[in-house]
Structure 1
Amino acid sequence: MTEMAQGLGVAKSTALSLARTLAAAGLLRSLEVGARYGLGLNLLRLGDLASQQTSIGELGLPVLHELSRATGMTARLAVNENGYPIFLERVDGGGPVRFHAPLGQREEPHCTAAGKAILAQMDELDVRRLIGEAGMRVHTPKTLSTVEDLLGDLKRIREVGFALDDEEESEGVFCAGAAFFDHHGRCAGALSVTDLKLDVPLREVQALGLTVREHADRLSTILSGSNRTTRR
C-alpha cells in the first residue's frame, strides 16, 4: 500500500480507498499477507480481450480492404463485447462521401447492421436481457422500437445470414452487416458496409448482403483455421 500511495502521490488512506474500489470491481484482489493487492481476474480478462481485439483488427484489415473494393462502400470491422459492437477498423469507400464514425467506442446494438448481426447469434433470453440494459433509443422513423419487432428482424437475419440498417440509425444512410466467428465457434464480431441510401438500389440489396456475408465467412476462416461456419 505504501508503494501504491507513493506512486500515485496520495495519502495511504486514499490509496486504500482506491484499492478497495478496484477490488470490488474485480480489477484488484486482496492478498492475505499485509495490506497488499494483486491483479484481479477481471483485469486479466480485460487484458485478454484487448489482445483478442488487436489481433482481430490486424487479421481482419486485409479482408476489410477487399470488402470495400468489392462494394465501393465504407467497410468497418466491429468486435463483439457482450452483445455490443465496438468498431476497431474502417476502410473508406471510393465515393466522395466519408462516414467518419469514431473507432473504439461501443455502439447501440438494436439499430446498427453490425449490432443486429451480433444479436442474431444470441439466444432470445440474452437478447431481451441486453436490450433491457441498453434500451432501444429511437433515432429515425425507421428505428425498431420494440423488442418483439427486433426479435422478428433477428429471425430474418438468421435466415439470410446478414443484417440491414435501412435508415434505422441515421436518415439517408444504409448499412449491411454479417457476423464472423472465432476458433471456438463463438461470434467474435461483425463486418459491415455503409453508403448513402440513394446509392443502394433495392434490387442490389440481396447481392450486397451476400457479399458482406462472404467476406465475414472469409474472416471466420482466418480466425478459426476452418471453413466451417457456425452461423445460426
Structure 2
Amino acid sequence: MEPSPPEPEDSRYWVRSVARAVDVLELLAARPPGEGMSVTEIGQALGLSKSAAFATLYTLTRRGLVADDGAGMSRRYRLGMALARLGSQALAQTSLRDVARPHLVALARATAATARLATLVQDQAVVIDQVGGNERVRLDLRMGSHELPHSTGLGKAILSWLPPDQVRELVGRVGLMRRTSRTITDVDTLVAHLAESRAQGYAIDDEEDAEGVFCIGSPLLGHDGACVGAISITGLKLDQPAWHYQELGRTVRDAARRISRDLGFDPDAPAVTTVGGPEVVDGAATPG
C-alpha cells in the first residue's frame, strides 16, 4: 500500500497561514528558556512583514499556543502552555508505541512481513511505528503515512470496532475512494464486511489499496475497552492458498490481543465500541 507523497508547497492543499504559524512555533521553540522574541525579530527571522507576524502571533496567543509578556514595544512572545496539553496527548501516543514495539518486532519476525502500528487521526489511520520483516522485496512504506479507512487493513481494523452508524458518518465525511478494482465503494457492503472482520478479529485488505499488495490488520483495545489503534502486516500478494492468509490473520489477531492486555484491556469486561467517541457498551469485549 503505497502512501501518498507529501504535498508540495505549491499544492492547492497547502495552507500558507498554517505553515506560517508552524514556522513561528518552531522559531520560538528554538529560543533558550526565558528568552522571548519581539514581533520585529520574528518577522525578520521568517521574512514576514510586521503586520503578518503580528496577525499570526495574535491568533496563536488567543488559542494559548503562544504567550506574551510586557506591553507595547517591549512585548515579547514565547511558547504557550496549551502546547503542554498537546504534548501530553503526543506522549500518550508514544506510550502506545512503546507498549506495541516489542510485539511488532516479534510479529515481523514471525510473518516475514512489515509490521505496522497506527492510530486514528482526523478519520484516517496514521502510522506511528513500523518494523520491517525479512522480505525479499521491500515495499515503500513510510512512517506518518495516512491510510484510508475503507481500503486498508489498518483502517478497516479500526472501523470494525465502531458501530455501523458511526462507520456511515465517517464514510460520509471521507468518502469511499476507489483505489483498485477490488476496493469496496458501497457503504452497505463495507458495513457487512466490517462485521465479518470484527467477528474473526482481523481485517484483510486484499489488493484493495494497491495492486499486488495485501495488508492484514487487527484492532488494539485500551484499558477501558475502547479502540486505541491497530496493528497490521503488509506484504506482496503471491499465489498462496486462502488458508495461508487466514493463518496470518490469526497471528496478527493474537499479537493484537497481547498488546491490548499490556494496555490493561480486560477481555471479560463489557466492550466499548468507540474510537475516542461516545461509549457504546455491547456485551463482553473480545478483540477477535
What is the TM-score with the length of structure 1 in the denominator?
0.84
* Larger proportion of helix: 1
1:225 Cα deviation from its structure 2 partner? 6.3
Moved segments of 4+, more than 4 Å:
33-38, 225-229
Does the 8 A contact of 1:175 with 1:195 survive in 2?
yes
Which structure has the larger Rg over C-alpha atoms?
2
Structure 1 residues not aligned, in runs of 5+: none
The match for 1:106 is 146
Identity percentage of aligned residues? 38
The match for 2:193 is 153
AA matched with 2:93:
Q
Distance 1:71 1:95, change over 3 A: same
Aligned ranges for residues 99-178 of structure 1 at < 5 Å?
A: 99-178=139-218
The match for 2:17 is none
Residue 112 of structure 2 is aligned to residue 66 of structure 1: no
AA matched with 1:221:
R
AA matched with 1:201:
P
Distance 1:67 1:200, change over 3 A: farther
Distance 1:207 1:92, change over 3 A: same
The match for 2:115 is 75
Does the 8 A contact of 1:64 with 1:90 survive in 2?
yes
1:16 Cα deviation from its structure 2 partner? 3.4
Q: How far apart, in 2, do the equivalents of 1:162 and 1:7 lie?
A: 54
The match for 2:280 is none
The match for 2:54 is 16
Does the 8 A contact of 1:136 with 1:144 survive in 2?
yes
Q: How far apart, in 2, do the equivalents of 1:97 and 1:199 lie?
A: 16
Which deviations, in whole Å up to 9, do the C-alpha atoms of 1:68-107 show, x marking residues without a partner?
1222222111122254211122222222111221111322
Aligned ranges for residues 153-232 of structure 1 at < 5 Å?
A: 153-198=193-238, 200-224=240-264, 226=266, 228=268, 230-231=285-286
Q: How far apart, in 1, do the equivalents of 2:53 and 2:242 lie?
A: 60
Distance 1:40 1:116, change over 3 A: farther
The match for 2:277 is none
| Residue aligned with 1:174, SS | strand
The match for 1:46 is 86
1:109 Cα deviation from its structure 2 partner? 0.8
Q: How far apart, in 2, do the equivalents of 1:164 and 1:23 lie?
A: 45
Structure 2 residues not aligned, in runs of 5+: 1-35, 270-284
Residue 124 of structure 2 is aligned to residue 90 of structure 1: no
Which deviations, in whole Å up to 9, do the C-alpha atoms of 1:147-169 show, x marking residues without a partner?
11211111111211110000000
Q: How far apart, in 1, do the equivalents of 2:265 and 2:187 lie?
A: 36
Does the 8 A contact of 1:83 with 1:115 survive in 2?
no
Which deviations, in whole Å up to 9, do the C-alpha atoms of 1:118-175 show, x marking residues without a partner?
0111232322222222222111100011211211111111211110000000111111
What is the TM-score with the length of structure 2 in the denominator?
0.69
1:18 Cα deviation from its structure 2 partner? 0.9
Does the 8 A contact of 2:147 with 2:154 survive in 1?
no
Distance 1:56 1:7, change over 3 A: farther
Which deviations, in whole Å up to 9, do the C-alpha atoms of 1:52-76 show, x marking residues without a partner?
2222222211100111122222211
Distance 1:15 1:139, change over 3 A: same
Q: How far apart, in 2, do the equivalents of 1:79 and 1:231 lie?
A: 19
AA matched with 2:203:
A
Aligned residues: 228
